[in-house]
A and B are shown apart, each in its own frame.
Chain A
Amino acid sequence: MIEKAFKGSTGYWVWMLFLLSIMGVGGLCYVQQFNYGLGITGMSRDVTWGVYISQFTFLVGVAAGGLMLVLPYYIHNYKAFGRIVILGEFMAIAAIAMCLMFIIADLGQPMRAMNVLLHPTPNSMLFWDMIVLNGYLFLNILCGWVVLQSEYKGVKYPKWIKPFIYLSIPWAISIHTVTAFLYCGLPGRHFWLTAILAPRFLASAFAAGPALLMVIAMILKKTTKFDVGREAQDKLVTIIGYAAMLNFFFLGCEFFVAYYSQIPGHMHTLDYLFWGLGHGDQVYNNLVPFMRASVIMGLAGIALIFVSRAKQSDGLLVISCLLIFIAFWIDKGLGLVLGGFVPSPLEYVTEYVPSVQELGITAAIWATGFFILSILYKVAISVKLEKEA
């Protein structure tokens, strides 16, 4: 089946070469980081996690988003997702691969990564995150590949795979819950110390993951004969729209608790993210434009996505999904992790700006993710189109 990835149009090869070139440049940046140390990044003693960990956090959500396709299809027997469910499973594989790469990129001693297995520590949430992420990666490779292979052979998938598919559903919830627990169990960080962090993570995941999938599905519709179908499209609009609304409801709850209680620690980071935090003679606000844009784009995306369905407009659908995806990428891929470090527990304000090398490595990991995704989608779509022809 994998041979399908080696046959493609010129466009396919240009795209793959483009990704490879980004991976090459980023690879060189990583060599620099490996030789110099993490000091080459913009991270500091006060802001100890930067874009690597924030991308990781966001991408766990993208991976968990696959659940919104697997669950209706396999549990509720929702046939309209028949063509798109494999895209969800394969996107989860690429997203988890990116997560693992981002973690490795963030380690000060990457050669010692296996210490997490050599000295298992059940009281650490990072230990559990390692287990659930690798487990989810395994489940999606197994389920996605076996089901697709059966389709390739023209038979129904074997019965033994069903338990694994069912297991992957709570497992998807677990990856994002445990990832939220990395943050919300730390006593000195007010911004993260909130019980709705995991629910909020899940809500944004169930919007951002399917939104990205929808954009890719629309690109495939344009460039190949592969069409996920109108019914699946319309159903996804409902899922993305409501999940996005839920995310904003949770965000609103955070605002209420902070500003109605007037507890300074709860207000500080929200001040920093949305209005700018005054400290000494200076106002620190480098994330304010991003966070405000995130809210506006997210709300506009929700409104437009329902309009797109009413008007049956694919163009508007792509725009609204992009708006929602970017809005949540800013919210989680920037604000959530970086904001947690401002102010520091000693109430110093240190702002963070990623370095060029750091951005190069980040771009390369995204490119690697899309590289994996392209191979997997190439195989899946070739099989699907071949069987239907």
Chain B
Amino acid sequence: MDSKRRDFLKIAGLTAIAGIAAPSAFNTLLKGEAIASAGQAAAGGHGAAAPTGKRYGMVIDVKKFTENPGLAEQCVSACHTIHNVPDFGNRKDEVKWIWIESYEHTFPTESQYKRPDALKDMPILTLCNHCDNPPCVRACPTKATYKKKDGIVGMDYHRCIGCRFCMAACPYGARSFNWRDPRGKDANGQPFIKAENPKYPTRMRGVVEKCNFCTERLAIGQIPACVEVAAQTKALVFGDMNDPNSEISQVLKTSFTIQRNPAIGTHPSLFYII
């Protein structure tokens, strides 16, 4: 066999192997999410949910927070107390799981033109969207952040290497990094965690954290802390969006809701009634 012919056969063989391996490799790369999102896109825009299984979601009725001044702050405080979220007292080191944001910053992709004045001072609760197609989970190099079967995007503080790739990937600014030791004290000897809750672990410095939809409370039959605070007003409705009889399904069926930046295909589990 002359050398050119042999070379040709070698290349042809390699190409064939690559051709067979490529689709499966590509599927591994996307973890089958390409297929899932294709199915959802067909269902049409926002509100589309994973076809089967439990999927937790939340509806935030923004008007009710204006009607009940101080409620939003109570939700934030309940969450941060229960989860030992440190308060460093500055924006640079800030760690937050749920916080109050203005309309223009929560929905920068919505038109800001000729909006009602009431929107200006409206307190809007902002937290992790627990996306059905989460960019942070795709980015994490150690599976320290992962998507659970019930739709919650979780964090393993003990595996996180602190590369902050997930923070660059999150399109909603929902993630915080422990730039310094959250278990420490400030210059005046005040601890960053005011009153430690022994039922939830504190974190160490150098890891990322965020809202976990109170997965530890759901496990023992409780509802998320913020939802519990807002229970009387029904400003926050939490539940399984795939259960047609759940309260959240009823709300989603009867109210017009919007999601944050739905155009980028993340399929958030948070819905806002403005």
Contact = CB atoms under 8 A, between A and B. Distances in A.
Contacts, number: 148
Contacts of A103: 163
Ordered nearest first, which 7 A-B pairs have the shortest CB separation?
Answer: A108-B162, A188-B171, A108-B206, A39-B179, A126-B141, A39-B180, A187-B264
Given A44-B92, A45-B92, A346-B105, A108 B177 contact: yes
A121 to B, nearest CB: 5
A77 interface: no
Interface in A336-354: 340-341, 344-348, 350
Interface string A120-133: 01111111001000
* Residue of A103, A115, A183, A350 ringed by the most chain B CB atoms within 10 A: A115
A189 interface: yes
* Residue of A38, A119, A340, A346 ringed by the most chain B CB atoms within 10 A: A346
A37 interface: yes
A49 interface: yes
A113 interface: yes
A345 B172 contact: yes
B105 A347 contact: yes
Nearest to A124: B141
A189 B168 contact: yes
* Chain A interface, >50% SS class: loop
Interface residues of A, number: 46
Nearest to A108: B162
Interface in B1-59: 28-31
Contacts of B31: 123
Contact of B181 (A37, A121, A124, A341): A37
Contacts of A44: 91-93, 179
Contact of B161 (A116, A183, A350): A116
Given A45-B94, A48-B167, A187-B135, A108 B207 contact: yes
Contacts of A350: 91
A187 B143 contact: no
Interface string B220-264: 000000000000000000000000000000000000000001001
A142 interface: no
20 contacts: A36-B180, A37-B179, A37-B181, A39-B93, A44-B93, A45-B176, A49-B164, A103-B163, A107-B163, A109-B206, A112-B161, A116-B161, A119-B142, A123-B31, A124-B140, A126-B165, A188-B135, A188-B264, A345-B261, A347-B105
A346 B162 contact: no
B100 interface: no
Chain B, interface residues (CB within 8 Å), range: 35 or more
A345 B170 contact: yes
A382 B158 CA distance: 49
B168 to A, nearest CB: 6
B191 interface: no
A307 to B, nearest CB: 41
B141 A188 contact: no
Nearest to B140: A124
Contacts of B144: 115
Contact of A186 (B168, B181, B204): B168
B165 A124 contact: yes
Contacts of B201: none
Given A185-B138, A187-B169, A189-B171, 13 more contacts: A37-B178, A48-B164, A48-B168, A48-B177, A107-B162, A108-B205, A124-B165, A186-B139, A186-B169, A188-B169, A188-B264, A345-B261, A346-B108
Nearest to B205: A37
A106 interface: yes
A340 B29 CA distance: 24
* Residue of B94, B160, B172, B177 ringed by the most chain A CB atoms within 10 A: B177
B163 A188 contact: no
Contacts of B167: 48
A46 interface: yes
